[in-house]
Amino acid sequence: MKKILLIEPDKTLSIVAHDYLQGRDLDIQIAEGAQEAVNLADKNEPELVILEIQLKHHNGIDFIHEFRSYPEWHKIPILIYSMIPKKEFPLDDNAWRQLGVVKYLYKPKVKLGELYNEINEILSETKI
């Protein structure tokens, strides 16, 4: 089973996403915040990180920089699944790519089924 780290501060959404994706042969680890995410990544070595960029006590962009500061996690792709639309960040596609963000999905418009399809696409393209 592919290991995925889901960083989602909302408990209901994290449980629902976990149950939906876990039922589709994905091993989902949930972290509510940045520190927990780092600890879980250290323990489980995920193949993909799904990140809500609006975290408690943390800016998601700062988290990405911190995450990328560990050489062993340089190549782990990050999929942003957020309540904040991409347009609110002054970053172009190239800047997102440099952060290792392979996809930016806007949560209000993307359902779990579509999220699952995107995950599959990323995992099939990624060779760590």
Partner 1 sequence: MKGTNSLVGVDQYLLKSIAEELRLPLIQISRLAELNMQNQKIDQTDIKKMESSADLAIQLLESFILGVEYSDRQTEIELSPITIGAVLNDVAHQVNKLATANNYDIELSVKSAHPVMGNYEAIKMAYLNIAHTIITGSSKNENNRRSSLVFAVYNRGPKNMAGIYSNNLDINKNVWEKSINNFEKSRQKMPEFSHINGSGFFVASSILEAMSLELGPSKFHGNKGLAAGFPLSQQLPLV
Q: Shortest distance, CB of residue 110 to partner 1, whole angstroms?
A: 10
Establish if 117 lies at the interface with partner 1 (CB under 8 A). no
In the bound state with partner 1, the residue whose beta carbon lies nearer, of 43 and 87, is 87
Among 20, 33, 36, 58, binds partner 1 (CB under 8 A): 20
The H or E element that residue 15 is part of is helix 11-22
Establish if 109 lies at the interface with partner 1 (CB under 8 A). yes
DSSP string, 55-124: ETTEEHHHHHHHHHTSGGGTT--EEEEESS-GGGS---HHHHHHTTEEEEEEGGG--HHHHHHHHHHHHH
Q: Which parts of this chain interact with partner 1 (CB under 8 A)?
A: 10, 12-13, 16-17, 19-20, 23, 83, 87, 107-109, 111-113
